[in-house]
Amino acid sequence: MSEKKPALWLRIFSFLVYVYIYLPILILIVFSFNTQKLNIRWEGFTFKWYEVLFNDSNVMLATRNTLLIAFISTLVATVIGTMAALALQRYRFPGYALTESVLYIPVIIPEVVMGISLLAFFALIKFQLGLVTITLSHIAFNIPFVALVVRARLHGFDKSIEEASMDLGANELTTFWRVTLPTIMPGVLSGAMLAFTLSLDDYVITYFTAGPGATTLPLRVFSMV
């Protein structure tokens, strides 16, 4: 059977949605080469602002901090989030409902509430604010997002392939690495990409948990504005 093509109006609507989302970004990229500083109108083409950017040591330091935090928090959050998703999808244990509800609280509550809560927690245990506290905070709010995406992937998972693997002599660990993980890898990678993006973009939680010398790129950009 031939697949039914989407209606013309649906394709037009989808195209307009993409234009609405990406046109402002495209305009921003184009005007980054504008000779006029205020970007009110186009005056001419220049690489001057990129030279200023790459020669700004504060911006480069903030970029390095941002990437370091994003990579570490994404790696840890992806591992823990995937494990949490597997546990919640496959097992029922005492406190299951409470664990599931608590896990997704960071997705629901406003970032300012979580930022203040984390700040209060670090102050209570007398933990000095800095890159470590930012990284721990990013891990905390990234885990639920990874778990959500991986659980969505697990809903369509066929357990019979795991059973077949173990019937053929593989133990549970081998089955996980060679069967389960490759099957759910699209969900794991999607969760990791989401976590990385959220970490790069975060301002509110980072603002509350950053200490002296722990400036990220979003903090730096907002302070410059």
Q: Which helix (H) or strand (E) holds 216?
A: none
Give the pLDDT confidence score for residue 1 in this predicted structure. Answer: 47
Residue 138, token pair as written in the block: 């990013």
User: What percent of the chain has a predicted confidence (pLDDT) above 70?
Assistant: 97
Q: Which structural domains are found in the chain, ordered by start? A: 1-55 (no CATH), 56-224 (1.10.3720.10)
Residue 31, token pair as written in the block: 């005007």
The per-residue pLDDT for range 118-147, each reduced to its tens digit, is 999 999 999 999 999 999 999 999 999 999
2 pLDDT band, cuts 50/70/90, is: low
Pick the residue with more confidence: 224 or 196?
196
Neighbour-count burial for 190-219, b at 16+ CB within 10 Å, e otherwise = bbbebbbebbbebeebbbbbbeeebbbbbb
Q: What is the residue-averaged pLDDT of the chain? A: 88
Phi-psi region of 12 (alpha: psi -120 to 50; beta: other; left: phi over 0): alpha
CA distance 117 to 189: 29
The per-residue pLDDT for range 39-91, each reduced to its tens digit, is 778 888 888 888 888 898 899 999 999 999 999 999 999 999 999 998 888 88
CA distance 208 to 145: 21
Is 44:34 a contact under the CB 8 Å cutoff?
yes
For residue 184, give the nearest of 85, 70, 100, 71 by alpha carbon: 85
CA distance 169 to 124: 51
Mean pLDDT of the 191-209 span:
93
CA distance 206 to 188: 25
Longest dimension (CA), the chain: 71
pTM comes to 0.82
Mean pLDDT of the 17-26 span:
92
Residue 184, token pair as written in the block: 């759910």
CA distance 124 to 136: 15
The Cα angle at residue 33 between residues 30 and 38, in degrees rounded to 5? 95
207 pLDDT band, cuts 50/70/90, is: very high
Q: Is 213 helix (H, G, I), strand (E, B) or coil?
A: coil
